[in-house]
Structure formats: structure tokens, C-alpha cells
Amino acid sequence: MSLHPQPIGEIPEMTARIAQAAFRKGNTIMRLRDKFGALYTDVDFAHLFPVRGQRALAPWRLALVTVFQFLEHLTDRQAADQVRARIDWKYALGLELDDPGFDFSVLSEFRTRLIHVKADHLLLDKMLAHFKAQGLVKAKGRQRTDSTHVLAHVRALNHLELVAETLRAALNELATQAPDWTRGMAEPEWFERYGRRVFDFRLPKGQAARTAYATTVGNDGFQLLAALDAINVPAGLRELPLVQTLNLVWTQHFECWNGQARLRDGPELPPGAERPVSPYELEARGSTKRGMWWLGYKAHLTETCDDNEVHLITHVLTTPATGQDVSQTREIQQALIAGGLEPQQHLVDSGYVNAGLFAESHQRGITLIGPPRPNTSWQTKVEGAFNDRAFSIDWDAQQVTCPQGKRSSSWQTTPDRQDRPAMTVHFLVRDCQPCLVRAQCTRAKYGPRSLKLHSREAHEALRAAQSQGLGKVYEARAGIEGTIAQTTRSCGLRQARYRGLAKTHFQHVVTAVAVNAARVIAWRQGRSHTQTPTSRFAVLRA
């Protein structure tokens, strides 16, 4: 496919006349073309296509179809049908009424091109640049961030299902790529054992029978991997994706014990963030939050939230489900700065903040507003006990004074778990052991009191955040919940359409584009932000 960029033409006269007659007041699709006719152009996508070969369909049209598809929560086939059948779509795309459209596979190819060159943010970036030029979005305002869970496009497997299904998937791929070699290598009983998809209800019952089955599956997998390491193996079989997955899963889940495979139990397995949970989706992970377990990803959405301004999603980040929110704050802020949309105030919940991030955000010119995580030491829970606030710190002299006037004896700089600078402070045994108020300071029978301190900048930023409180401005953070509800109910954000982190992230980006398009059109019509609904019964209380 080649691309020779062409300017966006006028809407055909017949199409415009029929569409305006059918939709006298217009609709979101038609208004999007009327208000933002040049939202995307062929030039924006020129780097995706070669200059020689068969002429490609106009990418600006495919981009708009992709946006409409997510706006109305359609499949590729349904979206292609709408291009052929819908008058308002033909109006927005500038097509004749008798235009036959295109095959639905074109949309998948277009997505693949964007993802392959890591241009998955292109649709959102171009839209935000267009809106920024019109004054609909700007830097140095107020923005808010929150995350939600996303279910992967695979079935959750238990431990035994995972290993058996991984071996079955590898055999299927080998049978496709090298059927003769696979037929000659496979044991006769393998065709019965791995000929059908593995489900838990088909597995043996009872612990002893399942242990024996796991040993058999492990031995079969080791036998297959040994056969693939032989000299006469057809070229390329070892590099097949599912063969590589088989090797990874067997390394993590099995060990050889007295010549037999032994399935490792929970404590022996690598951390959950490192283990695939399905052979067909290597990047999805299982995670738990507030008692809910899910298999998949997390979507982090950031949007503007200034009063009397349209609220637009400015950044989308997709991570495996095991990713911690606090690890994403820095990346989100850096991406907003790079896009020229850095906020002056960044509203987040407690999952996105720590002492270091308060200081880092301040250095970037951003005020991070969120509830600091509470100190969980016993001293903060017992009345009269000496928590870290009871100690005075002389940062220049690198010394700490306790409530009884005793000074620390050592000050050591040691990085914390996130490799951030931190300090460990110790006091002398001769000062702490005979102290009359020792029981209010430490519960250790012997030894002195010690303190863990953040860096000076982080410590002071945390103290400032704790002393200032959240204030009334933080009330605006709750509005991000409405955005998550809109993306979930209208666009299906919480269910991954595709497999793989890159494709799922593309889904989230285009979902944000679709929501932004709908919001801007509604704002231009004079519709203000929807308030939280209140039942008639609740109104009686007022």
C-alpha cells in the first residue's frame, strides 16, 4: 500500500442535501465534520505508508471511522457496514451515497500500522493539538488522574490448566508450521491428551491423580523441548512464539526431581508480576484490589477539570494489572509536559502519591494534590507516644534531637526500595536504655531508637502536604469517576477488545479520542457538565 497525500475534499452535494434533510438538527457524527473538518489529514499518516505500490485508502477517513467505531462501541465488521449504510457517516467521511465502502479487515490493518511504528498516541495527540489551537485545552490548568481495572481478552486459567494448555498451544503451532516433524515426534497418547482444549472439569479428580497428571504433562513438555534442541530440527521452530512461551512456563513452573518433572507450588514460583497467566496473552497479569481479583491490565486516565471549561482526556496510560499507581505518576506528568499540557495542579488519590513525588512534582512546576498515606507505626496510634514528628531535625548538621534532648549518634544515607535517597538515624544505647520515657518511644527490649527519613526535599514536601491539607479544590478529583463510568459504559473500556498490551493501549487511546469528540460537540451546543444524579426521595431531605 502506498500513500500520496490528498487534500480533504468537499462533501458531495447529494450526500450533504440528503443528510441535512434526514438530520435537520444534525448529530454528533455530522457536527464533528462541520466543526472539525480537518481534524486528521493524510499528511499526519504519511510516515506509515511507502511511496510506491498500490494506492491505500485515505488514512484520514480510516482514522475517523476508527473514532466513530469506538464512539458507538462497534466491531470492525459493524463499523465497515455503517460506512456503507449510514448517511451521517458518509456525510462526515465525504463519500457519495453509492460508495461501496471497504472490507472490514482494512481497519485491523490500519491499527496494526499505527501500533507497529509506535504511533498509537497519534490520534489523541492530533486531536489535542487541534483543540489546543482553538483554546479548548491549555496548559497550567487543573487536571486529575485515576485508574480502573481492565479485563484481558483471555480466560483465566488455574495452575494445572496453564501448563497443560501451554503445551497444547505449542503443539498446535508446531503442527501448523512443521506438520510432518510434529507427527513423527509426538507420542501416540499425546493426541488424546492434548487434542482438545484443557478445562478444569476435564482434569483428573483428587489431589493424587492431579499430581500424577502434572508430572506427566511436565515430562511431556521436557521431552518436546529436548526434541526441539536436536540437530535435525527444521529451522525456525525454536523461535516460534508459543515455543518460547513453553520454555518460559516450564522454567518457571517445573523442576526435574529424580528424573521426573515436579510442579512447583506457590512459594516456589516467581512473583506474580513476572508470570504469564495464559499462553495466549503473555503481558496480562492477575491482580487484587480491595478484595476484587481480575486478569488483565490497568488503564490510567488523566483529564482537565477546570471550572467552566470542557473536560478533555489529555493522557492515557495502560499497564499490567500488577503495576502500582504510585509508579505511574512521574511518567504521566512527564508525558503531559512533553505534550505542552502540563497542569498547575494535579489531583490524584492516595495511590499516586508519596513523599518523593510531592518534591519531584514541585520541581516540575506542578502542585501534586492528594492524601498522603498515613504513618502506620504504633507510635502514631498510642496517645503520648513519640512518633517521628516529635523529633527535631537539623539537616545541615545531619543530626536529630529526641524529645528528651538527646542527639543522634549516626546518620547514614541508604536508598529505599524504590532506590530513592533515604536516611537511617540511630541514637546511643547509653542515652536510650536508661531513659524514663523509653516505653513511649520504642518497644524494643534492648537497643536504641532509630528513625527512617526521606530526603530533605521529600520530607519537607510531605510535611507541607500534611499541614496544608487537601482543601476544597480536591473535591474536583471525584469527577474522574464519572469519566471512567462514561468510558466503561459507552465505549467498553473495561473489557479488552484485543490481546497484548500495545493493542489494548491503542483501544484505550481511541476510547479517549471518542469521548473527547462527544464532549466537545456537547460543549459547543451549550450543554454543561452533568451533575451527580440525586433521587427525588433524597431531594426531600433538603
**433-479 residue pLDDT tens:** 999 899 999 988 888 899 988 888 888 888 888 777 788 889 899 99
For 307-318, the DSSP string reads TTS---EEEEEE
Does residue 396 carry a pLDDT above 80? yes
**Cα–Cα distance measured from residue 200 to residue 161, given in angstroms and rounded to the nearest whole number:** 6
C-alpha cell at 102: 471497504
**Cα–Cα distance measured from residue 406 to residue 433, given in angstroms and rounded to the nearest whole number:** 12
Q: What was the pLDDT predicted at 272? A: 86
pLDDT tens across 27-77, in order? 999 999 988 888 899 888 888 887 776 677 888 999 999 999 999 999 999
Looking at the fold, whether 176 and 306 belong to one and the same domain comes out as no
Q: What was the pLDDT predicted at 296? A: 94
Q: Distance of CA 297 to CAs 15, 146, 153, 494, Å?
A: 42, 14, 10, 9
> Hey, how many other C-beta atoms are within 10 angstroms of the C-beta on 451?
17
Does residue 280 carry a pLDDT above 90? yes
Domain end point (choices 430, 454, 478): 454
Looking at the fold, whether 35 and 52 belong to one and the same domain comes out as yes
The beta-carbon contacts of 197-201 under 8 Å, at least 24 apart in sequence, are: 197/165, 197/168, 198/161, 198/164, 198/165, 198/168, 199/161, 200/158, 200/160, 200/161
* Domain-located, residue 465: no
Looking at the fold, whether 81 and 213 belong to one and the same domain comes out as no
Give residue 337's pLDDT band: very low, low, confident or very high (50, 70, 90).
very high
**Closest Cα partner for 400 from 423, 425, 380, 418?**
425
Three-state DSSP string of 93-154: HCCCCCCCCCCCHHHHHHHHHHHHCCCCCHHHHHHHHHHHHCCCCCCCCEEEEEEEEEECCC
The CATH number of the domain where 514 resides is what?
3.30.420.10
**Cα–Cα distance measured from residue 36 to residue 32, given in angstroms and rounded to the nearest whole number:** 6
- Answer for the pair 328, 317: CB distance below 8 angstroms, yes or no: yes
Region of poorest pLDDT, from 70-84, 235-249, 263-277, 414-428: 414-428
What are the φ/ψ torsions at residue 56 (nearest 5 degrees)?
-85, 160
> Hey, how many other C-beta atoms are within 10 angstroms of the C-beta on 393?
20
Looking at the fold, whether 163 and 250 belong to one and the same domain comes out as yes
* Domain-located, residue 279: no
> Hey, how many other C-beta atoms are within 10 angstroms of the C-beta on 325?
20
Looking at the fold, whether 177 and 315 belong to one and the same domain comes out as no
- Answer for the pair 505, 485: CB distance below 8 angstroms, yes or no: no
Looking at the fold, whether 67 and 213 belong to one and the same domain comes out as no
Give residue 418's pLDDT band: very low, low, confident or very high (50, 70, 90).
low
Could you tell me how many residues make up the chain? 542
Q: What was the pLDDT predicted at 365? A: 92
Domain end point (choices 454, 483, 506): 454
**Cα–Cα distance measured from residue 234 to residue 100, given in angstroms and rounded to the nearest whole number:** 45
Residue 238, amino acid: R
Compute CA 10 distance to the chain's CA centroid, rounded to the nearest angstrom.
Answer: 39
**Cα–Cα distance measured from residue 48 to residue 284, given in angstroms and rounded to the nearest whole number:** 28
Does residue 249 carry a pLDDT above 90? yes
Looking at the fold, whether 339 and 407 belong to one and the same domain comes out as no
Looking at the fold, whether 344 and 394 belong to one and the same domain comes out as no
Looking at the fold, whether 215 and 345 belong to one and the same domain comes out as no
Burial class (CB in 10 A: 0-12, 13-18, 19+), 397: exposed
Q: What was the pLDDT predicted at 1? A: 61
* Domain-located, residue 536: no
* Domain-located, residue 125: no
**Cα–Cα distance measured from residue 347 to residue 126, given in angstroms and rounded to the nearest whole number:** 25
First to last CA, the chain: 64
- Answer for the pair 257, 214: CB distance below 8 angstroms, yes or no: no
pLDDT tens across 338-376, in order? 999 999 999 999 899 988 899 999 999 999 999 988 888
Does residue 17 carry a pLDDT above 70? yes
Please compute the mean of the pLDDT values over residues 160-172 and round it to a whole number: 94
Q: What was the pLDDT predicted at 538? A: 85
Please compute the mean of the pLDDT values over residues 170-194 and round it to a whole number: 93
Expressed as residue numbers, the domain containing 165 is: 159-274
Does residue 419 carry a pLDDT above 70? no
Please tell me the number of Cα atoms within 13 Å of 80 on its side-chain side. Answer: 12
Domain count, the chain: 4
- Stated pTM of the model: 0.89
Looking at per-residue pLDDT, the higher value among 427 and 528 belongs to 427
Mean of per-residue pLDDT scores for the chain? 90
* Domain-located, residue 281: no
* Domain-located, residue 2: no
Domain end point (choices 420, 454, 488): 454
Looking at the fold, whether 35 and 102 belong to one and the same domain comes out as yes
* Domain-located, residue 168: yes
- Answer for the pair 495, 508: CB distance below 8 angstroms, yes or no: no
Looking at the fold, whether 402 and 489 belong to one and the same domain comes out as no
- At how many degrees (to 10) do helices 105-116 and 59-71 cross? 100
* Domain-located, residue 266: yes
**Cα–Cα distance measured from residue 377 to residue 355, given in angstroms and rounded to the nearest whole number:** 16
Does residue 97 carry a pLDDT above 80? yes
Looking at the fold, whether 341 and 490 belong to one and the same domain comes out as yes
Give residue 495's pLDDT band: very low, low, confident or very high (50, 70, 90).
very high
Q: What was the pLDDT predicted at 319? A: 96
